């Protein structure tokens, strides 16, 4: 039995990763403090409740399972919150990750898969965002993730910590079996907010700014299906198991969609109107974040299968109507 320690395994992406790991024959061990995660989402392996700041707890979990690798998802990840409470982002994300990384090294667990973000790139006019693009994050969320990338590089040099860093673009969709899905409280992400608005669970969606330099004035993002994203993580794990070099990969499809286009697609998929109003820009938002890289396809053999807007919204809608978690 090969255990993989999955921090944030009770969260949106982490829970999907646990399912993908279990399907690939691994035993995912979820380590999660349940501040934003859900115990109900832990369905595919053992659960260990704990905080990244708790070194003794981390040491006990490493000793108990002797994991072959860590997949590190646990993080605070909201742009708005990062602008208003940057200290929490530096403390939870950076200090917490440093604690985890040190515990992994001390336990002799030297394979590490890290979830980073395209928010580390920041604003770049008309530049293709690939893994060599300079990183100038606009908010403490992106900055905290960039700092953790730096820590991993230093730990590679000092202690041989082999790592794969994935810079996610916008993750959407849900498990097509609706066993797990996206459920944040409070919710801040576009697709689930839009589905809530369609169902009348909130007054309506606010579109954050229509004065950006894009064809319809709204921000453009590159949306990737959560199941495709976690498939890449299993490939990243295999990459490390094969003893390949530490590497950074963007995970996006290379196609950008504006907020208005996402609204239009949601109308078409659900056959329901999306109530929305236009609001001001949200602080910390970049105009356009689209991946310009095929490295994951070429080197990892990653082939996104469900990352069309239609499929992402269809899967999210199915989950939205059937699934939720209780604390
Ligand atoms: N967005 C919006 N209204 C909302 C939430 C998001 O217009 O209530 C926009 C946001 O400005 C961004 C896009 O939708 O351009 C995706 O935002 P989300 O928070 O889902 O992901 P992020 O890009 O911050 O990772």
- What are the tens digits of pLDDT across the range 7-62? 999 999 999 999 999 999 999 999 999 999 999 999 999 999 999 999 999 999 99
Asked if residue 230 lies in contact with residue 12, where contact means CB atoms within 8 angstroms, the answer is no
CA–CA dist 324, 327 (Å, integer): 10
DSSP tally for the chain: helices H, then strands E: 11, 14
Centre of ligand 1 to C-alpha 60, Å, is: 38
Q: Is 60 helix (H, G, I), strand (E, B) or coil?
A: helix
Residue nearest to atom 15 of ligand 1 (CA): 219
pLDDT of res. 151: 98
Asked if residue 83 lies in contact with residue 139, where contact means CB atoms within 8 angstroms, the answer is yes
Centre of ligand 1 to C-alpha 114, Å, is: 23
pTM of whole model > 0.85? yes
Nearest atom within ligand 1 for CA of residue 193: 8
Name the band, by pLDDT with cuts 50, 70 and 90, for residue 327: low
**Higher local confidence (pLDDT), 236 or 138:** 236
Active site residues: 141
Nearest atom within ligand 1 for CA of residue 209: 7
pLDDT of res. 79: 84
CA–CA dist 62, 109 (Å, integer): 8
pLDDT of res. 123: 79
pLDDT of res. 126: 67
Nearest atom within ligand 1 for CA of residue 220: 15
pLDDT reading at 322 higher than 90: no
pLDDT of res. 125: 76
Strands (E), 173-293: 205-208, 220-221, 223-225, 247-251, 257-258, 276-279, 288-289
Per-residue pLDDT reduced to its tens digit, 120-172: 998 787 678 999 999 999 899 999 999 999 999 999 999 999 999 999 999 99
**Higher local confidence (pLDDT), 286 or 248:** 248
Backbone phi and psi for residue 71, each to the nearest 5 degrees, phi listed first = -115, 120
Tell me the average pLDDT across 162-187. Answer: 95
Asked if residue 29 lies in contact with residue 46, where contact means CB atoms within 8 angstroms, the answer is yes
Centre of ligand 1 to C-alpha 258, Å, is: 10
Per-residue pLDDT reduced to its tens digit, 108-119: 999 999 999 999
Backbone phi and psi for residue 111, each to the nearest 5 degrees, phi listed first = -115, 125
Q: Which residues contact 102 (CB under 8 A, 6 or more apart)?
A: 55
pLDDT of res. 11: 97
Q: Is 207 in the pocket of ligand 1 (CB under 6 A)?
A: yes
Asked if residue 286 lies in contact with residue 248, where contact means CB atoms within 8 angstroms, the answer is no
**Higher local confidence (pLDDT), 225 or 325:** 225
Mean pLDDT of the chain: 95
Centre of ligand 1 to C-alpha 190, Å, is: 5
Centre of ligand 1 to C-alpha 80, Å, is: 10
Per-residue pLDDT reduced to its tens digit, 189-208: 999 999 999 999 888 999 99
**Which of 221, 284, 316 has the most ligand 1 atoms within 8 A of CB, as the residue to mutate?**
221
Q: Is 216 in the pocket of ligand 1 (CB under 6 A)?
A: no
CA–CA dist 319, 269 (Å, integer): 14
Please report the domains of the chain, with CATH numbers, ordered by start residue.
3-172+223-251 (3.40.50.720), 190-222+254-322 (3.90.25.10)
């Amino acid at each position: 039995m090969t255990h993989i320690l999955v921090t944030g395994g009770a969260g949106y992406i982490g829970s999907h990763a646990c399912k993908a790991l279990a399907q690939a024959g691994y035993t995912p061990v979820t380590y999660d403090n349940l501040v934003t995660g859900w115990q109900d989402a832990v369905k595919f392996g053992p659960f260990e409740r704990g905080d990244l700041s708790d070194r003794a707890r981390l040491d006990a979990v490493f000793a108990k399972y002797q994991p072959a690798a860590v997949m590190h998802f646990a993080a605070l990840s909201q742009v708005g919150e990062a602008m208003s409470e940057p200290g929490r982002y530096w403390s939870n994300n950076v200090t917490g990750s440093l604690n985890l990384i040190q515990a992994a090294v001390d336990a002799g667990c030297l394979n590490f898969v890290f979830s980073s973000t395209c928010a580390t790139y920041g604003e770049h006019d008309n530049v293709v965002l690939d893994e060599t693009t300079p990183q100038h994050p606009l908010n403490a969320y992106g900055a905290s993730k960039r700092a953790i990338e730096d820590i991993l590089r230093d730990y590679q040099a000092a202690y041989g910590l082999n790592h794969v860093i994935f810079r996610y673009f916008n993750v959407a969709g849900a498990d097509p079996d609706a066993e797990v899905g996206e459920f944040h409280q409070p919710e801040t992400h576009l697709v689930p907010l839009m589905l809530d608005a369609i169902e009348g669970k909130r007054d309506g969606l606010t579109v954050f700014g229509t004065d950006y330099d894009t064809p319809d004035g709204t921000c453009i993002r590159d949306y990737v299906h959560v199941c495709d994203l976690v498939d890449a993580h299993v490939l990243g794990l295999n990459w490390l198991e094969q003893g390949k070099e530490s590497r950074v990969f963007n995970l996006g499809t290379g196609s950008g969609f504006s907020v208005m286009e996402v609204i239009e697609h949601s109308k078409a998929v659900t056959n329901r109107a999306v109530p929305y109003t236009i609001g001001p820009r949200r602080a910390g938002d970049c105009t356009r974040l689209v991946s310009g890289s095929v490295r994951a396809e070429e080197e990892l053999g990653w082939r996104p299968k469900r990352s069309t807007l239609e499929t992402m919204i269809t899967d999210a809608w199915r989950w939205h109507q059937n699934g939720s978690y209780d604390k």
